[in-house]
Structure 1
């Protein structure tokens, strides 16, 4: 049970709670002006403060992290399972990520021979505090996806700020049906893990829809793609992979590949140089052969007949001189021809030698090229293997995308089939848990009839297509007041069953907004029922009320005196919960 709300600010209106029914009243003072309102007295803030001290998020939206309140350290004293003394919880908006606990109720080290928990106040992270609440107040063990201590607590202390009084099955406006009923199933003692299957299917379906949108997007569609496109891409990638694999399998590493390649290149250069030299010397040979053809002895036989015809008789000395010149000229011609013949012979020999060398070098080059053609260097093989690995990785990625596309295209059918299977399993579980469902229905019916007499009232529990549905029903005209009393009876049922079976704490908190529009008789009956049930079940019911609303119940004969708390809030600036307006 909750024992005390406090703060280190003297202006704060400390509240001491007790077992059973607790009435926290907001009064209107004699000096109040017509513009004053008890809406700012702090009734709803009391509920928010309990949530803050029991692990609510301390982000910028939380009122206790605002400038006016963040420097105040608030406290909650409550009974704690397994601890004889009262647990003191302290938290401030200045350090919202931590709470201070006294005594230390964190679990001892299981590997230690001694209990090393702190003997004084201990500061723990808010995540650990929430885990402790789930474990000790709600009995949650191990992993419990879909069930949250914060959500469970929101059914036992609904918040106006979260629109928690809009409908019985939800504690905030956008809470999904699957999330809500999973937590309700836990409080009612049903198979919450089976109920959580709906939430998981809803998450899968939401993912499928997002992926389907992405596939239709021209950019994001390339990430997944369609099975038809991917099937064609895989076929081409497999063919390319086979070609590369065949090249790798047939590849032979040639020893000293680079040296052989250099030798082949050198032979090629040598052969090219020989060919160039042949061209030059072949041209020279042709010129020499032409020169040999043009070299001949000079004919002098015509000189003597010419001189005779002219009547000139050459003397012996002249004739002898001509003979000497002629002999000298013949000598020159012979020498030139012999020189040309020797040059031609040398050129011819060199040409023949180069032809022979070219033939020999050509054979060597062919042999080297055959060796190089049969294989390659180790680096070439490595590059080929790397290319093969890249193609294998690309093919693997395509196959993964293909699997994802197949899964996406088949997921709709799979989800539908799974939903039908889950619906049948949940329906079977409900039948097998007739004792739990009967207990919940009879308890709710008892509470509703205490307010409205012998009307038909029950909990409709069945396996729906989208979620397990748990709907409280009271035969009525659907007025707002009756709708609020449906929530009252439903919450009281949840609190009692959770407490009986170790699935929840022993308190229930309601804000005065729950009683807006409620008939006087039902208000009196609800308060009397809460007092009776909490006494029977050894529980605690805390409710905030305006004094004039309570007067409606007391005028109907309700004795409120034993249940009114000592702290009374007012509509004056200093009379609210925090002692000032902010």
Structure 2
């Protein structure tokens, strides 16, 4: 595609006309302007953004969003393609609808589908294949972030490798497969998160420990299931249980009382045995041993005393006997009660042993559920461990296979690799005393492009890396028929380069674009170009030249 002109129906918009080959979009300092005036707001960068927008961009340039009149205006890009003229017209207010593409009205998706075929020969392909807008981004660079190392701003976007492989002519499908294989890490990461969550719940991540715990749980579950199968719910279980408890308490109380009465019985029995009448005969024996005779009246009195005590002893024996009988009766009555209570207690325990209460049954069910849930978690963790191990094995195997295939593919395309490297070396050699190098190698991330130029790390050198890379890409793609027909750079690319490098870069771009049949369009401020350079490229200036006067900008007024 050759860009012819950029236009708008906005009344004061300055339509820009492009040349074949080399173009400089110049922002000139007007003689009446003070030195403190800037020319960065005249619209040259906005013009580049407009070209990108008209070629299928989703968002209109920031400058257009400042005023409703600019949003509601129509903008058009005229072009030549394979001998045919065409135009793309868009109104930002219409967003992604009502886009005029030659004689058709299309939406943004349809426009990009047409343009990807026109500019790169791309068709709708598989997921993670090369995409139109990503490829186009290497040929229209406007924002500051674009002026880092060619793929640094997309290093986290694996798609850049696919797009560059496609543009250079390497086997991009191998890169795509490599990226798809890397996507498996997402699934593996989820599995690892699951394993981590289970580990936080107290489970070891060790496979053998999990298997041992699973075996124990299965046995415990079987026991609980058996208990549930044999469990008989007794509706009045709690009432029977309470009655049994009451009977048990009564029997303990009766047993305690019998124990006390047995002690008392033993005491009374001992008291009856030890009970003896007074010893009168012993008194007589003592007197006789002394050779004395006990007086008769004394003997009579002693006999009376003996009879008295005999009566007392007999009365006491009768009393103790009655007490013994009472104690024995109480013990017998209690024992009889205990027998009846024991019979009832045995009956109750038999009934209770045959089943249980509903809440016990429910507790067993809950216990079973808990153990089943725990077993399920462990089984899931075991499955995850096996799956993670298998996925990791397959991932590593496929990763190595693809790395080998990519390396083999690049080796088979050694002539292409050689051409890319030498083209880059030739360009950088004309900008630096020590030529830079472009290394293309198969790596862990697919196909890497590493640029080395002495002094890398300084702003100017890093941006010149981008220039060398872009120009290399433009030349290679032009030869292969995958160039959109242009390469567009904003002036920011040269902000930190000296005048000699700027002049050399422009000469290289002019030579490359004319030799390889593509347009090179670069935006510049007039004070960044030496007068001899301006004079040399007078015929290559985009018409009209913009300036920093009130009406000299792209939109014809300042805002």
TM range (shorter): 0.5 to 0.7
Task: Give the match for residue 166 of structure 2.
Answer: 186
Task: Give the match for residue 15 of structure 1.
Answer: 16
| Residues 206-229 of structure 1: per-residue CA shift (max 9 Å, x gap) | 9999999x99xxxx9877669995
Task: Give the match for residue 522 of structure 1.
Answer: 504
Mapped pair 1:572 → 2:555: no
Task: Give the match for residue 510 of structure 1.
Answer: 489
Q: Any idea what SS the aligned residue of 1:395 has? A: helix
| Residues 144-188 of structure 1: per-residue CA shift (max 9 Å, x gap) | 4385544322211122422x3344x3374x745966544322210
How much does 1:570 deviate? 0.8
- Return the alpha-carbon distance in structure 2 between the equivalents of residues 394 and 477 of structure 1: 54
Task: Give the match for residue 543 of structure 1.
Answer: 522
How much does 1:521 deviate? 6.1
Mapped pair 1:31 → 2:32: yes
Task: Give the match for residue 367 of structure 1.
Answer: 350
How much does 1:233 deviate? 7.2
Task: Give the match for residue 371 of structure 2.
Answer: 388
How much does 1:393 deviate? 3.3
CA contact 2:231–2:356 (8 Å) conserved in 1: no
Mapped pair 1:429 → 2:409: yes
Counterpart selection for 1:491 from 450, 467, 470 = 470
Superposed counterparts of 1:35-434, under 5 Å: 35-54=36-55, 56=57, 58=59, 62-66=62-66, 71-73=71-73, 75-77=75-77, 86-92=86-92, 98-103=96-101, 121-124=105-108, 137-138=119-120, 139=122, 141-145=124-128, 147-162=130-145, 164-167=146-149, 169-170=150-151, 172=153, 175=155, 180-195=160-175, 229-231=204-206, 234=210, 237-238=213-214, 241-254=217-230, 257-259=233-235, 261=237, 264-265=240-241, 268=244, 271=247, 358=341, 360-372=343-355, 379=362, 382-396=365-379, 398-399=381-382, 423-434=403-414
- TM-score normalised by length of structure 1: 0.62
- Return the alpha-carbon distance in structure 2 between the equivalents of residues 502 and 423 of structure 1: 28
Q: Any idea what SS the aligned residue of 1:541 has? A: strand
Task: Give the match for residue 449 of structure 2.
Answer: 470
CA contact 1:461–1:471 (8 Å) conserved in 2: yes
Task: Give the match for residue 553 of structure 1.
Answer: 533
Relative to structure 1, is the Cα distance of residues 11 and 555 closer, same or farther in structure 2, using a 3 angstrom cutoff?
A: closer
Task: Give the match for residue 296 of structure 1.
Answer: none
| Residues 479-522 of structure 1: per-residue CA shift (max 9 Å, x gap) | 99898666445323323443554645222212234455353863
Relative to structure 1, is the Cα distance of residues 160 and 506 closer, same or farther in structure 2, using a 3 angstrom cutoff?
A: same
- Return the alpha-carbon distance in structure 1 between the equivalents of residues 515 and 459 of structure 2: 24
- TM-score normalised by length of structure 2: 0.64
- Return the alpha-carbon distance in structure 1 between the equivalents of residues 252 and 136 of structure 2: 100
CA contact 2:91–2:99 (8 Å) conserved in 1: no
Q: Any idea what SS the aligned residue of 2:544 has? A: strand
CA contact 1:181–1:469 (8 Å) conserved in 2: yes
How much does 1:90 deviate? 1.7
- Return the alpha-carbon distance in structure 2 between the equivalents of residues 166 and 362 of structure 1: 93
Task: Give the match for residue 532 of structure 1.
Answer: 514
| Residues 451-478 of structure 1: per-residue CA shift (max 9 Å, x gap) | 6899978753233566633356799999
- Return the alpha-carbon distance in structure 2 between the equivalents of residues 11 and 366 of structure 1: 106
CA contact 1:87–1:101 (8 Å) conserved in 2: no
| Residues 514-556 of structure 1: per-residue CA shift (max 9 Å, x gap) | 455353863563354145235xx4x333222445738533655
Relative to structure 1, is the Cα distance of residues 517 and 136 closer, same or farther in structure 2, using a 3 angstrom cutoff?
A: same
How much does 1:432 deviate? 1.1
How much does 1:434 deviate? 2.4
Relative to structure 1, is the Cα distance of residues 436 and 401 closer, same or farther in structure 2, using a 3 angstrom cutoff?
A: same
CA contact 1:485–1:518 (8 Å) conserved in 2: no
How much does 1:391 deviate? 1.2
Q: Any idea what SS the aligned residue of 1:251 has? A: helix
- Return the alpha-carbon distance in structure 2 between the equivalents of residues 276 and 484 of structure 1: 101
CA contact 1:227–1:402 (8 Å) conserved in 2: no
Q: Aligned Cα RMSD in Å? A: 5.8
CA contact 2:244–2:349 (8 Å) conserved in 1: no
- Return the alpha-carbon distance in structure 2 between the equivalents of residues 136 and 399 of structure 1: 53
Relative to structure 1, is the Cα distance of residues 381 and 237 closer, same or farther in structure 2, using a 3 angstrom cutoff?
A: same
Q: Any idea what SS the aligned residue of 2:33 has? A: coil
